[in-house]
Amino acid sequence: MATDLGRDTDIGVPDIEAFDRKVSISNLDATEDIKEATIKIESLLKRKPLTWKDTGVGSAITTFIPGFPYKLLEVRFHLGSALAAAETLTLTRTAFGDESVAYYNVVLLSQDLGTAGILDLSLVFGPEEGYYTELDSIVSALSANTGGDRWGLEIVYEKV
């Protein structure tokens, strides 16, 4: 007659079947815990916001391309002083990192900063928008800036 795990049966043979069931259940529980912990860690690593920055004086064209799939969280633009009327900031998603494939490019924002005297601009992306491949870039263009104003651009994104 078999008894507890690891003990001999009445004929001196360990109860291997009960031992195997216990080991299998324990391994399954540990495996699920490891999988769950791995998923949580990967999720946290992906959600760590990263920031790309560029700054300059005068008109500008900058290109942001991180080299991996990403999600835009926010684009921030700051000017040191007001622009002249009709000086515009344009943000464009350039598909496949190739500006010559213009039929896939999308203007995300085109804003006259000068007429309204805008110094700070923030474009926040919702949870279901702003997903791009490793080949997509974000091009910002500040037209004219005839006064030679200093500007700063921050792109906040996360790896997906």
Name the domain count of the chain: 2
Same domain, 28 and 60: no
Q: Residue 7 pLDDT > 60, yes or no?
A: no
Same domain, 78 and 124: yes
Model confidence over 103-146: pLDDT tens digits? 888 999 999 988 888 999 999 999 888 899 888 999 999 887 77
Same domain, 91 and 134: yes
Same domain, 91 and 36: no
Same domain, 75 and 100: yes
Same domain, 55 and 40: no
> How is residue 138 written in tokens?
């974000």
* pLDDT in the model for residue 3: 47
Distance from C-alpha of 143 to C-alpha of 133, rounded to nearest angstrom: 27
Where are the alpha helices (H) located in 3-142, listed in sequence order?
16-46
Instruction: Name the band, by pLDDT with cuts 50, 70 and 90, for residue 11.
Output: low
pTM as predicted = 0.68
C-beta separation of 69 from 159 below 8 A: yes
Same domain, 61 and 77: yes
* pLDDT in the model for residue 53: 96
Full domain range(s) for residue 34? 1-46
Model confidence over 42-90: pLDDT tens digits? 766 666 899 999 999 888 889 999 999 999 999 999 988 888 888 889 9
Q: What is the CATH classification number for the domain harbouring 75?
A: 2.60.120.260
Instruction: Name the band, by pLDDT with cuts 50, 70 and 90, for residue 91.
Output: very high
